[in-house]
Amino acid sequence: MPCRELGSRDAWGATVPLHQLQVPDPGVLPFAMGTFDTIGPLSRAEFPHRHTFHEIVFVTGGRGAHVIDLAAWTLDPPQLGIIVPGRVHHWERVTGLDGRVILFNDDFLLNHPEDRDALRLLGDRPFLRPSPEAARAIGALLAEMDREYQAQAPGFISVLQAYLHVLLVRAGRLAATAPGPPAAGQPDPAGRAPGAGPGADTARGSDSGAAVALRFARLLAGPDGPARSVRDCAALLGVSAGRLHQAVKEATGRTPGAMLRQARVLEAKRLLAGTGLTVGQVARQTGFSDPAYFCRFFRRETGSSPGDFRRSVRGKHHDRVLVSIDPTDQPS
């Protein structure tokens, strides 16, 4: 099984389950691909969870929905899906799910580091619906990748990295022409101004305003990002709070404080929807020492109290059957 779960197996338990990528040989770069069946039950998990790795799915059959950070994306194959690390997601009421799955972490992008930024941008449009011609091209590309992956001939890792780069470039073209904005409630994890493309930070220099803004957005997207203050982030980035404000404002049109508030709201929603943490525990994990202040903040930003939000989400999913991903621990 190429993935394993860390933390609780209960979607309403103490933590959101965290899945890591397993490979049989520590000397092999973390990468796996196959069908939903060969990858295993984690590839179609019906409980909220998040990954430490990237996942790309090419859905060629099935009905239902894929829920990413509380936004439900209706399946309408063929579709190309991109789930970036940290996003809480699950499959919902899915039948007949068919297609290919690719799993990898950032280490696999060593030959094309700009692909990291491309993935973050693609994460804002998690499900793309290619034209029939584009879908055939994607299917052919993935078939070639799978043959290379199965054969594992000399040099296969570099070939897979090149194929993955081509896939991401083509996905970026699809996203650029896809109608409509990103799903409601989905922030731009890269914090980019319109038109800022992948690799802009490396093209302009690591100390440019765009680079500082992108590094700040990466901090916020990390597991501890929402709990940090703007001043803490500035110190970690090696810049003053004033420089951080100027760089982020110029690059994104937003202030660091506004981006931090957005990250805290999103993480709070994830924890309220997918864990059994108390409101006080959610407050602490999102950077608030005072639960009462957190409640006022959450209501101001969302129009709902944390408790009301949790009850509304639980009401939508109260009838979901949650099954352990461990085949040796199935309910009797």
CATH number at residue 234: 1.10.10.60
Same domain, 108 and 169: yes
Spatial separation of the C-alpha atoms in residues 51 and 210, rounded to whole Å: 27
Spatial separation of the C-alpha atoms in residues 46 and 316, rounded to whole Å: 14
Same domain, 156 and 13: yes
**Residue 316 phi/psi, 5° resolution?**
-70, -30
Answer whether the bond into residue 78 is a cis peptide, omega within 30°: yes
Domain boundary among the residues 146, 177, 208 is at 177
Q: Averaged over 55-73, what is the pLDDT?
A: 91
Same domain, 98 and 171: yes
Tokens representing residue 312 in the block: 């509304």
Same domain, 151 and 206: no
**Residue 199 phi/psi, 5° resolution?**
80, 5
Please tell me the predicted confidence (pLDDT) of residue 116: 81
Please tell me the predicted confidence (pLDDT) of residue 219: 85
29 pLDDT more than 80: no
Tokens representing residue 138 in the block: 């994607």
Domain that holds residue 305: 200-317
CATH number at residue 51: 2.60.120.280
Q: What is the pLDDT of residues 255-284, one digit of tens each?
A: 999 989 988 988 888 888 777 889 999 999
Does the residue 185 lie in any domain?
no
Same domain, 216 and 310: yes
Same domain, 66 and 28: yes
Where does the pLDDT of residue 7 fall: very low under 50, low under 70, confident under 90, or very high at 90 and above? very low
Q: How open is the CA angle 326-90-113, to the nearest 5 degrees?
A: 100
Q: Averaged over 140-167, what is the pLDDT?
A: 93
57 - beta bridge partners? 81, 101
The Cα-based distances of 156 to 151, 153, 166, 311 in angstroms read 8, 5, 15, 49
CB atoms within 10 A of CB 226: 24
Contacts 24+ apart (CB under 8 A), 302-311: 302/265, 302/269, 306/268, 306/272, 306/279, 306/282, 307/279, 309/269, 309/272, 309/273, 310/272, 310/273
Please tell me the predicted confidence (pLDDT) of residue 276: 84
323 pLDDT more than 50: no
Same domain, 204 and 243: yes
Same domain, 123 and 269: no
Same domain, 225 and 108: no
Give me the number of domains the chain comprises: 2
Same domain, 23 and 134: yes
> Which residues neighbour 108 within 8 Å (Cβ) at sequence distance 6 or greater?
29, 30, 31, 160, 161, 164
**Tokens 């068919």 appear where?**
98
Same domain, 259 and 120: no
Strand bridging mode 50-51 / 18-21: parallel
Where does the pLDDT of residue 1 fall: very low under 50, low under 70, confident under 90, or very high at 90 and above? very low
Same domain, 119 and 168: yes
- High-pLDDT (> 90) share of the chain, %: 41
